[in-house]
């Protein structure tokens, strides 16, 4: 039996008392089991005010000010957290008004700076603001603004957040991890900065994506912010501009490659799992040449997943299943869909593999079904349609290369252009994961008019906004209301006139990765299995009502993200139990976890979602 399942177990009577206690909690509260315990701190006075984890500013009560030697260090008026938020929001709204230039939106980067300053001084209030305004501020702390933040991170850097491991630290990482102050870390998001959001190699500045992702783990999944860790692995950069920039904060040398590169990542993984054996590591924005290799290298050894490969795939699968429903068909008809995919990088291949597995399972989950599913995809990269005639074909794309005779019967050849493929195949779905802005030109969209589906679907999934294959307005202006549109970055709904609305669905990875991480954590699963990822995608696909999908709404509102994450995490926990991977979490051991009903699993997840409440602080000398 593993160490996980040897943890202290709750007696049945204590579980009963815990259930009775949580039953009377305000249903809108997401308090964790330990959430109401006093927090022991080993600092006071001005040091508390400079610590964003514990600082609550003017919300310290007079009793706390006396206990922590804060009297006289703050204005005398004690404010509630609601009053603090009201004051912050009033200041932010004033900025929005003053920054407005005619009809344009406020400067997103300036908005990020204001929110980041709040994060630096009062973490609890920061997450209160973010959770309460998640639809408005998710695009600021995450895509698309986080791309701009990463591009300018060396200039924006004010105080360190997270950890930096570099090629210069080889041989030291095992000791370095103990420099991080938290004894418990539940979630790490790590990047090497080599492929940030389709913006290319941004080197050390890519840590902005790790920080942004973890903000959403806290806001959406209720991960405790004191137990998350953003990480940058700096192995150099091949960005010539950064190599010559005197203000660049990273190593100014070309990227390591081959065995030297793998050795650095190996050392990092061994170090973090030695100190925090039960941590979950999410790989983020690694270039395609390493994304799959590292995923296959670690996924059966460590609790890890790659969001670009697996998270993007899950969100796309949920959208594709939703599109089948929006076309008036049952999800079981998914294997009949003809799908043209633009892009054969890590995200594109990840979606293809996941979609093929989903189709195969619906067709009987055998070798014949798996082979049959392959024929539903046409993959187009920068060189055109991929066929078996392609020279030096990427091994990951090889399973999706079309047979020459097959495409010949369709009037196509190796390297055929995207517009030719769309015109000849007449697909049900046009899926973009190319990171090439405007790839779905008017000519390509015109070709989609001849789709054999009465309601074809367009997925312009590349981030950030400038890399989207087309905009919602472009899609609806060419194809009218009988098209389903989804994108990776947010676009506004399109007014089609006569009271008709063209709905823009944001197929954002934030629908899934927080729930995958939380579900893995609470199940105690040793790995993140394909079944757990599939359960997450199917849960998201089923979240929308029949009435909503028939209107062309295939993804839910970001404003519901905590409820979505709760249900996705519960689906992941349930699948981990069914696959016999669950080993339990803290007091809930594997045996007790297996006894929970589906409804009780949802309650278990809900009760372990952190909520930004000011804890009672008790000073204790070291």
Q: How does pLDDT run across 308-365, given as a tens digit for each residue? A: 889 989 999 999 999 999 999 999 999 999 999 999 988 899 899 999 999 998 999 8
Cα distance between residue 251 and residue 204, in whole Å: 8
Q: Give the three-class secondary structure for 186.
A: coil
Evaluate whether 3 touches 277 at the Cβ level (below 8 Å): yes
Q: Which of 128, 213, 357, 567 is catalytic?
A: 213
Query: E strands within 77-159?
Result: none
Closest of 175, 181, 489, 173 to residue 190, by C-alpha: 173
Cα distance between residue 260 and residue 173, in whole Å: 15
DSSP 613: -
Residue 431 pairs in a beta bridge with: 341, 459
Q: Give the three-class secondary structure for 588.
A: strand
Cα distance between residue 25 and residue 607, in whole Å: 10
Residue 183 pairs in a beta bridge with: none
- Cα 388 vs. chain centroid, distance in angstroms? 34
Q: Which helix (H) or strand (E) holds 289?
A: helix 288-298
Q: Could you give the C-alpha distances from 315 to 16, 55, 417, 511, in angstroms and in order? A: 37, 37, 27, 7
> Over 90: is that where the pLDDT of 436 sits?
yes
Evaluate whether 204 touches 230 at the Cβ level (below 8 Å): no
Q: Examine the residue annotation and report whether 543 is marked as an active-site residue of this protein.
A: no
Cα distance between residue 621 and residue 572, in whole Å: 42
> What is the predicted pLDDT for the residue at 95?
61
HEC profile of 502-531 = ECEEECCHHHCHHHHHHHHHHHCCCCCCHH
Cα distance between residue 315 and residue 539, in whole Å: 11
Residue 377 pairs in a beta bridge with: 339
Query: What DSSP string describes 413-435?
Result: -TT--HHHHHHHH--SEEEE-S-
Q: Starting at the edge strand that comes first in sequence, how are the strands of the sheet with 504-506 ordered?
A: 384-385, 377-381, 339-342, 429-432, 457-460, 484-487, 504-506
Q: Examine the residue annotation and report whether 142 is marked as an active-site residue of this protein.
A: yes
> What is the predicted pLDDT for the residue at 196?
86
Evaluate whether 60 touches 78 at the Cβ level (below 8 Å): yes
Range from 24-28, 168-172, 221-225 that averages highest in pLDDT? 221-225
Q: How many CB atoms lie within 10 A of CB 156?
A: 16
> Over 80: is that where the pLDDT of 570 sits?
yes
High-pLDDT (> 70) share of the chain, %: 92
Report pTM: 0.82
Residue 228 pairs in a beta bridge with: 187
> Over 80: is that where the pLDDT of 134 sits?
yes
> What is the predicted pLDDT for the residue at 38?
80
Task: Please write down the long-range contacts of 74-78, taking CB distance under 8 Å and 24 or more positions apart.
Answer: 74/49
Residue 165 pairs in a beta bridge with: 233
Banded model confidence at residue 36, pLDDT cuts 50, 70, 90: low
- Sign (positive or negative) of CA dihedral 35, 311, 519, 596: positive
Report the helix count and the strand count for the chain, using DSSP H and E. Answer: 27, 18
Cα distance between residue 131 and residue 368, in whole Å: 47
Query: What DSSP string describes 326-373?
Result: HTT--GGGGGG--EEEE--SHHHHHHHHHHHHHHHHHTTSSHHHHHHH
Over its C-alpha atoms, the chain yields an Rg (Å, rounded) of: 25
Q: Which of 126, 137, 142, 614 is catalytic?
A: 142
Q: Which helix (H) or strand (E) holds 305?
A: strand 304-306
Q: How does pLDDT run across 399-431, given as a tens digit for each residue? A: 999 999 999 999 999 999 999 999 999 999 999
> What is the predicted pLDDT for the residue at 365?
86
Q: How does pLDDT run across 97-126, given as a tens digit for each residue? A: 554 433 334 488 888 988 999 999 999 999
Q: Could you give the C-alpha distances from 505 to 322, 458, 464, in angstroms and in order? A: 11, 10, 15
């Amino acid at each position: 039996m593993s160490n996980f399942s040897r943890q202290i177990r709750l007696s049945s009577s204590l579980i009963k008392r815990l259930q009775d206690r949580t039953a009377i909690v305000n249903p809108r509260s997401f308090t964790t089991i330990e959430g109401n315990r006093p927090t022991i701190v080993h600092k006071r006075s001005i040091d508390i005010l400079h610590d964003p984890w514990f600082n609550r500013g003017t919300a310290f009560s007079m009793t706390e000010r006396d206990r922590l030697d804060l009297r006289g260090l703050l204005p005398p008026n004690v404010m509630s957290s609601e009053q603090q938020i009201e004051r912050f929001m009033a200041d932010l709204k004033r900025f929005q008004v003053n920054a407005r230039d005619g009809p344009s939106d406020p400067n997103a980067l300036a908005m990020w700076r204001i929110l980041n300053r709040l994060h630096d001084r009062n973490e609890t209030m920061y997450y209160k603001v973010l959770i309460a305004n998640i639809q408005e501020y998710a695009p600021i702390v995450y895509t698309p603004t986080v791309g701009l933040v990463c591009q300018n991170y060396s200039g924006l850097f004010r105080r360190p957040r997270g950890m930096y491991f570099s090629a210069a630290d080889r041989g030291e990482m095992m000791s370095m991890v103990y420099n991080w102050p938290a004894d418990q870390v539940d979630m790490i998001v790590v990047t090497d900065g080599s492929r940030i959001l389709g913006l290319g190699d941004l080197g050390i500045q890519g840590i902005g994506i790790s920080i942004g992702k973890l903000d959403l783990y806290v806001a959406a999944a209720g991960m405790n912010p004191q137990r998350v860790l953003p990480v940058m692995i700096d192995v150099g950069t091949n960005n010539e501009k950064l190599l010559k920039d005197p203000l660049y904060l990273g190593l100014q040398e070309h990227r390591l490659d081959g065995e030297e590169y793998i050795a650095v990542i190996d050392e990092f993984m061994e170090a973090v799992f030695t100190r925090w054996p039960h941590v979950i590591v999410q790989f983020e924005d690694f270039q395609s040449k390493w994304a799959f290799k590292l995923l296959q290298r670690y996924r059966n050894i460590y609790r890890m997943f790659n969001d670009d490969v697996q998270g993007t795939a899950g969100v796309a699968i949920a959208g594709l299943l939703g599109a089948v429903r929006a076309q008036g068909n049952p999800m079981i008809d998914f294997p009949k869909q003809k799908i043209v995919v633009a892009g054969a990088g890590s995200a594109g291949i990840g979606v293809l593999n996941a979609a093929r597995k989903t189709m195969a399972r619906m067709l009987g989950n055998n070798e014949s079904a798996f082979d049959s599913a392959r024929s539903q995809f046409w993959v187009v990269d920068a060189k055109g349609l991929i066929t078996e005639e392609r020279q030096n074909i990427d091994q990951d794309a090889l399973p999706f290369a079309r047979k020459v005779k097959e495409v010949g019967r369709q009037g196509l050849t190796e390297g055929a252009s995207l517009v030719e493929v769309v015109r000849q195949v007449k697909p049900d779905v046009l899926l973009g994961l190319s990171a090439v802005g405007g790839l779905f030109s008017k000519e390509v969209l015109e070709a989609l008019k001849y789709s054999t589906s009465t309601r074809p679907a367009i997925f312009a999934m590349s981030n950030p906004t400038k890399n989207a294959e087309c905009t919602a307005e472009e899609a609806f202006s060419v194809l009218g209301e009988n098209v389903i549109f989804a994108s990776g970055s947010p676009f506004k709904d399109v007014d089609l006139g006569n009271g008709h609305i063209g709905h823009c669905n944001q197929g954002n990875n934030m629908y899934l990765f927080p729930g995958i991480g939380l579900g893995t954590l609470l199940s105690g699963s040793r790995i993140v299995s394909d079944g757990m990822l599939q359960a997450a995608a199917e849960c998201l696909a089923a979240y929308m009502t029949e009435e909503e999908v028939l209107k062309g709404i295939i993804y839910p509102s970001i404003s519901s993200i905590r409820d979505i994450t709760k249900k996705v995490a519960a689906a992941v926990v349930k699948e981990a139990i069914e696959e016999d991977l669950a080993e339990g979490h803290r007091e809930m051991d594997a045996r007790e976890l297996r006894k929970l009903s589906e409804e009780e699993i949802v309650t278990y997840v809900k009760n372990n979602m952190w909520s930004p409440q000011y804890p009672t602080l008790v000073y204790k000398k070291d």
